[in-house]
Amino acid sequence: MLRFFAVVATIVTFGSVCSASDIPETNWGAVFKVPVDQVEQVEQGFVEFGNWIKDTHPMGDEENGLDSFTITKGAPTEGHVYYVLVERYRTTEGLRNHQSIYSRDVNGDYASMFSKLSFGIYRVYGSVQTKTLFSIVP
Protein backbone atom coordinates (compact mmCIF):
# COMPACT_ATOMS: atom_id res chain seq x y z
CA MET A 1 0.00 0.00 0.00
CA LEU A 2 2.86 2.37 0.83
CA ARG A 3 4.37 1.67 -2.58
CA PHE A 4 1.05 2.62 -4.22
CA PHE A 5 0.98 6.02 -2.47
CA ALA A 6 4.63 6.62 -3.33
CA VAL A 7 3.90 5.97 -7.01
CA VAL A 8 0.83 8.26 -6.95
CA ALA A 9 2.82 11.03 -5.24
CA THR A 10 5.59 10.70 -7.83
CA ILE A 11 3.11 10.88 -10.72
CA VAL A 12 1.33 13.93 -9.27
CA THR A 13 4.63 15.73 -8.62
CA PHE A 14 6.07 14.89 -12.03
CA GLY A 15 2.81 15.76 -13.78
CA SER A 16 2.55 19.16 -12.10
CA VAL A 17 6.16 20.00 -12.98
CA CYS A 18 5.73 18.95 -16.61
CA SER A 19 2.45 20.82 -17.03
CA ALA A 20 3.66 24.03 -15.35
CA SER A 21 4.28 26.94 -17.68
CA ASP A 22 7.81 28.23 -18.00
CA ILE A 23 6.44 31.62 -19.02
CA PRO A 24 6.32 33.83 -15.92
CA GLU A 25 3.19 35.72 -14.97
CA THR A 26 4.79 39.10 -14.42
CA ASN A 27 2.60 41.51 -16.33
CA TRP A 28 -0.90 42.76 -16.88
CA GLY A 29 -2.00 44.03 -20.23
CA ALA A 30 -4.90 44.33 -22.63
CA VAL A 31 -5.88 45.44 -26.12
CA PHE A 32 -8.40 48.24 -26.55
CA LYS A 33 -10.48 49.06 -29.64
CA VAL A 34 -11.59 52.68 -29.37
CA PRO A 35 -13.94 54.53 -31.76
CA VAL A 36 -12.11 57.47 -33.37
CA ASP A 37 -14.52 59.98 -31.81
CA GLN A 38 -13.64 58.68 -28.30
CA VAL A 39 -9.84 58.72 -28.70
CA GLU A 40 -9.22 62.01 -26.87
CA GLN A 41 -11.30 61.01 -23.83
CA VAL A 42 -9.76 57.52 -23.65
CA GLU A 43 -6.21 58.85 -24.01
CA GLN A 44 -6.84 61.25 -21.14
CA GLY A 45 -7.98 58.24 -19.06
CA PHE A 46 -4.84 56.32 -20.03
CA VAL A 47 -2.69 59.24 -18.84
CA GLU A 48 -4.57 59.40 -15.53
CA PHE A 49 -4.16 55.65 -15.11
CA GLY A 50 -0.42 55.97 -15.83
CA ASN A 51 -0.11 58.79 -13.28
CA TRP A 52 -1.85 56.59 -10.70
CA ILE A 53 0.68 53.83 -11.41
CA LYS A 54 3.55 56.33 -11.07
CA ASP A 55 2.17 57.74 -7.81
CA THR A 56 1.32 54.47 -6.08
CA HIS A 57 3.57 51.66 -7.33
CA PRO A 58 7.15 50.74 -6.43
CA MET A 59 9.47 51.24 -9.39
CA GLY A 60 12.47 49.47 -10.88
CA ASP A 61 14.76 47.81 -8.37
CA GLU A 62 12.43 48.48 -5.43
CA GLU A 63 10.74 45.44 -3.94
CA ASN A 64 7.84 44.43 -6.24
CA GLY A 65 9.02 47.11 -8.67
CA LEU A 66 7.46 47.98 -12.00
CA ASP A 67 9.86 47.23 -14.86
CA SER A 68 7.90 49.08 -17.51
CA PHE A 69 4.53 50.58 -18.34
CA THR A 70 3.69 51.15 -22.00
CA ILE A 71 0.68 52.11 -24.03
CA THR A 72 1.08 51.82 -27.76
CA LYS A 73 -1.31 53.31 -30.30
CA GLY A 74 -2.09 52.17 -33.82
CA ALA A 75 -3.25 54.24 -36.77
CA PRO A 76 -7.01 54.59 -37.25
CA THR A 77 -8.45 51.50 -38.93
CA GLU A 78 -12.07 51.22 -40.03
CA GLY A 79 -13.21 53.91 -37.60
CA HIS A 80 -11.26 52.62 -34.60
CA VAL A 81 -7.84 53.04 -33.00
CA TYR A 82 -6.23 50.06 -31.29
CA TYR A 83 -4.16 50.46 -28.13
CA VAL A 84 -2.03 47.92 -26.29
CA LEU A 85 -1.39 48.58 -22.60
CA VAL A 86 1.22 46.52 -20.75
CA GLU A 87 2.49 46.80 -17.18
CA ARG A 88 5.51 44.59 -16.64
CA TYR A 89 6.84 43.72 -13.19
CA ARG A 90 10.14 42.10 -12.27
CA THR A 91 8.42 39.30 -10.34
CA THR A 92 5.06 37.62 -9.97
CA GLU A 93 4.90 39.22 -6.52
CA GLY A 94 5.10 42.61 -8.23
CA LEU A 95 2.03 41.79 -10.29
CA ARG A 96 0.21 40.60 -7.17
CA ASN A 97 1.21 43.83 -5.45
CA HIS A 98 -0.31 45.81 -8.35
CA GLN A 99 -3.55 43.86 -7.94
CA SER A 100 -3.57 44.66 -4.20
CA ILE A 101 -2.94 48.35 -4.82
CA TYR A 102 -5.72 48.41 -7.42
CA SER A 103 -8.15 46.71 -5.01
CA ARG A 104 -7.24 49.22 -2.31
CA ASP A 105 -7.54 52.31 -4.52
CA VAL A 106 -10.49 51.54 -6.79
CA ASN A 107 -12.86 52.26 -3.89
CA GLY A 108 -10.39 54.29 -1.81
CA ASP A 109 -8.32 57.42 -2.38
CA TYR A 110 -8.52 57.12 -6.18
CA ALA A 111 -12.19 56.13 -6.44
CA SER A 112 -13.17 59.34 -8.25
CA MET A 113 -10.41 58.86 -10.83
CA PHE A 114 -11.36 55.22 -11.45
CA SER A 115 -15.06 56.09 -11.73
CA LYS A 116 -14.27 58.48 -14.61
CA LEU A 117 -12.18 55.98 -16.54
CA SER A 118 -14.21 54.62 -19.39
CA PHE A 119 -11.53 52.82 -21.38
CA GLY A 120 -12.48 49.45 -19.85
CA ILE A 121 -15.58 49.29 -22.05
CA TYR A 122 -13.30 49.29 -25.09
CA ARG A 123 -11.19 46.32 -23.97
CA VAL A 124 -11.14 43.60 -26.61
CA TYR A 125 -12.79 40.53 -25.10
CA GLY A 126 -10.24 37.92 -24.08
CA SER A 127 -7.25 40.21 -24.57
CA VAL A 128 -6.08 40.34 -20.96
CA GLN A 129 -2.41 39.37 -20.83
CA THR A 130 -0.63 38.13 -17.73
CA LYS A 131 2.36 36.29 -19.16
CA THR A 132 5.59 37.72 -20.48
CA LEU A 133 6.54 35.62 -23.49
CA PHE A 134 9.60 37.61 -24.53
CA SER A 135 11.19 40.76 -23.18
CA ILE A 136 14.37 42.75 -23.65
CA VAL A 137 15.28 45.22 -20.94
CA PRO A 138 18.62 46.87 -21.78
DSSP assignment, residue 74?
P
Distance CA 103, CA 88 (A): 18
Q: Which CATH architecture has domain 23-122?
A: 2-Layer Sandwich (3.30)
DSSP assignment, residue 36?
G
Over the stretch 68-78, which tens digit does the pLDDT of each residue have?
999 999 999 99
For residue 5, the one-letter residue type is F
Show me where the domains of the chain are located. Answer: 23-122
Over the stretch 108-129, which tens digit does the pLDDT of each residue have?
888 888 887 767 788 898 888 7
